[in-house]
Amino acid sequence: QQQVKQSPQSLIVQKGGIPIINCAYENTAFDYFPWYQQFPGKGPALLIAIRPDVSEKKEGRFTISFNKSAKQFSLHIMDSQPGDSATYFCAASMGTSGSRLTFGEGTQLTVNP
């Protein structure tokens, strides 16, 4: 019930493409869904987050789509750039109770020039 399943494990796109990373969860009590970005040798950093009262959130070139009935959420990166090459982690928690974050397995994204 605490698991968050992420796919794909790796993804290669050309510059300008729109990579999509998907996550699914089981625990319907989860109410906070962030995405973290990690560059080699660094700790992950918060990219964007959504709560289930909305179906979509955009911040710059990054968009989260959220489907509460399917218990799925995804990250879309518009006009991807080589600098977006990193590992992306989705996560979930029962945010309003301050519970711990559970992370997905990660997606290694490569954006070719």
Partner 1 sequence: GAGVSQSPSNKVTEKGKDVELRCDPISGHTALYWYRQRLGQGLEFLIYFQGNSAPDKSGLPSDRFSAERTGESVSTLTIQRTQQEDSAVYLCASSFLQGATGELFFGEGSRLTVL
Sole residue written with tokens 């970005």: 37
| x-or-dash string of contact with partner 1, 28-67, rule CB under 8 A | ----x-x-x----xxxxxx--x------------------
> How many residues belong to the site for partner 1 (CB under 8 A)?
27
**Residue written as token pair 């029962």:** 94
Alpha-carbon distance 113 to 97, whole Å? 43
Q: How many CA atoms lie within 13 A of 85 on its CB side?
A: 11
Minimum CB distance to partner 1, residue 4 (Å): 10
Q: Which is nearer to partner 1, 17 or 94 (CB)?
A: 94
DSSP state of 13: E
SS3 call for 84: helix
* Amino acid in the structure at residue 13: V
Binding segment (CB under 8 A) for partner 1, from list 11-19, 55-63, 66-74, 86-94 = 86-94
Which parts of this chain interact with partner 1 (CB under 8 A)? 6, 32, 34, 36, 41-46, 49, 89, 93-106, 108
